[in-house]
Amino acid sequence: MPQYPGTPSTLSPGATHRLVDVPGGRIHLVEQGTGPLVLLVHGFPESWYSWRRQLPAIAAAGFRAVAVDVRGYGRSSKPREVEAYGMLAHVADNVGVVHALGAQTATVVGHDWGSPIAAHSALLRPDVFTAVGLLSVPYTPPGGPRPTDVYSRFGGDEEFYISYFQEYGRAEAEMEPDVRGWLAGFYAAVSGDTRSVDGPKPYMVSAGGRLRDRFPVDVRPGWLSDEELDVYASEFEWAGMSGALNRYRNVDRDWADLAAWRGLPLTQPSLFVGGAADPTMDWMAKAVDAFPTTMPNLIASHVLPDCGHWIQQERAEEVNAILTDWLKLLPGQEWHGIDAS
């Protein structure tokens, strides 16, 4: 498999960039460590880089940590067709990565959009993904009302951000003229230390307005340095925003494609970690309450106080401890030199 040279300053010692072939194209990834495979799947608008603080910790715990650029992001393939970003394609990419790395099984961990991608990877391919960890976004089984019908009812006269993202080119026109500034505002809007709890909801859009109209101005989360923001901005300035946004544009297609799995639980050993100051926890509270039914083998669930949406970056040490403790508890880890007792 080819090596991708990457940017050395973004890597911890012992981590390497690679490009691997999957049936749908190529996936760029960063890996560190040896042992059982742990696949890390990022969300919007991030990249493999959102796991930069987890890669060395998971590797030090005795695992092979692999953080991917999801299709449409970074150095991974970017099909032109919107329908190429459906959930089935993302699951196939994850399976392809596992096999390209010479493994048969993996634990999959996702954050934000990476959380439902991880969950559906486990749901559709339990033979490959033997455990699943979800950060910030709880699992909801396939089914229920059509997603865009639900989102259209959010907020009354205002528009929910997922509805705002549906029209190709509309959100791009807001984001791409100032990628760095837009990202900085979006990260601050739902970060625990910069979120305006009493202000206008940053995930709603006023009639005729833009999403960024409600972002904090000239405020930077404590977890995000200038250099780290530059890494994110350079990735999206190079790749554009459409590949990332196309995930949102497939919610109704996913609803139809996943009908055969309607209402099914995740039965693998699982983990959930959320932030108490993350607005996602407000509108998805019922999904958390349903865990005894939807995730019956949930090993641990944590909600971190004063933490926002970017959980593994805002509270890296806590999340690292939670993840590695959970990984060591998974069945079969004693066969890899890890004491799971």
The residues carrying an active-site annotation are 112, 309
Dihedral sign for Cα atoms in the order 328, 291, 39, 23 = positive
Structure tokens at 278: 């993350």
The angle that helices 226-239 and 179-189 make with each other, rounded to 10 degrees, is: 120
- The CA-to-CA distance between both ends of the chain, in Å, stands at 37
Rounded Cα distance between 332 and 234, Å, is 40
Is 103 buried (19+), middle (13-18) or exposed (0-12) by CB count in 10 A?
middle
- Percent helix, percent strand, percent coil in the chain, to nearest 5: 40, 15, 40
Q: Which residues contact 264 (CB under 8 A, 6 or more apart)?
A: 123, 141, 142
Q: How many helices (H) and strands (E) does the chain have?
A: 15, 10
Q: Which two tokens stand for residue 124?
A: 């559709």
In sequence order, what are the residues at sequence separation of 6 or more whose Cβ sits closer than 8 angstroms to the Cβ of residue 42?
48, 49, 50, 51, 67, 68, 69, 70, 73, 110, 111, 112, 113, 114
- Please, are residues 204 and 214 in contact by the beta-carbon 8 Å criterion? yes
